[in-house]
Copies of this chain bind each other. A is one copy, B any other.
């Protein structure tokens, strides 16, 4: 019923020793760590929650100096100090910057800001933070036309993010960028397919192990034959309105990318179910929402069509979690990946994780990823996950009679490290 505290604590100790691989983040490889407190408090989790709690969006206008903006933001954040998101800030401040108070306020932010600025001077800061977090590798999120030179591939793994390309293809500058980075002159379906192939190849040679995309709820991949793809590609390339066919174009591009993932041994990370821009008055990056009631079934053409490609799936809506677990249970090329965004909440993770562990093959679970914008948050988030994992393994695995303590440690190692390494072919 309840794990002995002693068992949970022993597991937590063993789990802390496992170096993890973070398969999805937005950490910028050129500036992975915060240089100021504002870099951290500007994280959309804080700005959107503070705004939601009543803060005027102008408080965080980019041109306001820290001395004006931070005290007001911190005042507003008093309303969110019950949340797990707030607890991430406290945890990283304590673990990485020696912060000792219970709450961060307009009265105590300056010493923390100074500590962050001092730490930023250390040119090995990223390595130090990740080492303290016991994170071995962090996946990046790169736009298709990002410059991939100069990435410290000892710490970071590039990933080709497809959203701009697939959902922005009707934008001429996107099409021009694609031509530029691939060297393919786009004329129709065949050349577009070739460009996509070169793009995936371009990322693979720079060390990418996966492509990634977020899809709106209800997105259904449709079958697209070569003639249809050629027709719609030609229309798009000459800037024609293709509103009727935009779904064919998008599906076709996804299918072509999946095909190339198969050829080149890359995983396809899909984050399913976000409505972009749903809330019109939100702050920057704070306008997207989930939709209850949508289903993963629209991905079946992709999953069935490319059995040789591993699809690492995340969902945004609690109503899809059991469906996702069923896909992981049954479909060989589906891996369950982490606990995304609005589902990245301890009470939700705890329930879902127990069910995953009891019903999905243990080699098909990527336990967690940080989705962090700065390395510091990866520490706080993974620490949160490690605590949940310890508790769930203690209660819902060992004490529920599914295996011994050593088996639980072995499962933790798979979820945090071995599965990401094997699945992503690191």
Query: Please, which residues of chain B bring their CB within 8 A of the CB of A294?
Result: 292-293, 295
Indicate whether A297 reaches chain B with its CB closer than 8 angstroms: yes
A187 within 8 Å of B (CB atoms):
no
Question: Is residue A53 contacting chain B, with contact meaning CB distance below 8 A?
Answer: yes
Task: Name the 9 nearest CB pairs between A and B, nearest first.
Answer: A318-B322, A53-B361, A293-B293, A347-B354, A292-B323, A82-B362, A319-B319, A280-B304, A347-B355
Are B52 and A330 within 8 A (Cβ)?
yes
Which chain A residues in 1-24 approach chain B with CB under 8 Å?
1-3, 5, 8
Proximity bits, A312-343, B CB within 8 Å = 1, else 0? 00000111111101111111101000000011
A sample of 21 inter-chain contacts (CB < 8 A) reads A1-B391, A52-B329, A52-B361, A54-B332, A79-B364, A82-B361, A83-B362, A83-B402, A87-B401, A102-B404, A278-B300, A281-B332, A282-B331, A289-B331, A290-B323, A293-B293, A293-B294, A329-B342, A345-B355, A347-B358, A347-B396
How far, in angstroms, from A282 to B327 measured CA to CA in the complex?
11
Is A174 an interface residue when CB atoms closer than 8 A count as contact?
Answer: no
Evaluate contact between B358 and A290: CB separation under 8 angstroms. Answer: no
CB-CB under 8 A for A359 and B85, given A1-B8, A5-B1, A279-B330:
yes
Contact status B304-A296, CB under 8 Å: no
**Cβ of A52 and Cβ of B332 under 8 Å apart?**
yes
Interchain CB contact under 8 A, B332 and A49: no
Known interface pairs A322-B319, A347-B355; A362-B293 also in contact (CB < 8 Å): no
> Are B293 and A54 in contact, with the CB atoms below 8 A?
no
Q: Is the interface of A mostly helix, strand, loop or mixed?
A: helix
Let me know if B360 and A407 touch, CB within 8 A: no
Contacts of A48 in B (CB 8 A): 329-330
> A227 at interface (Cβ–Cβ under 8 A)?
no
Indicate whether A360 sits within 8 Å of B329 (C-beta atoms), given known contacts A292-B296, A348-B322. Answer: no
Specify the chain B residue showing the minimal Cβ separation from A1.
B2
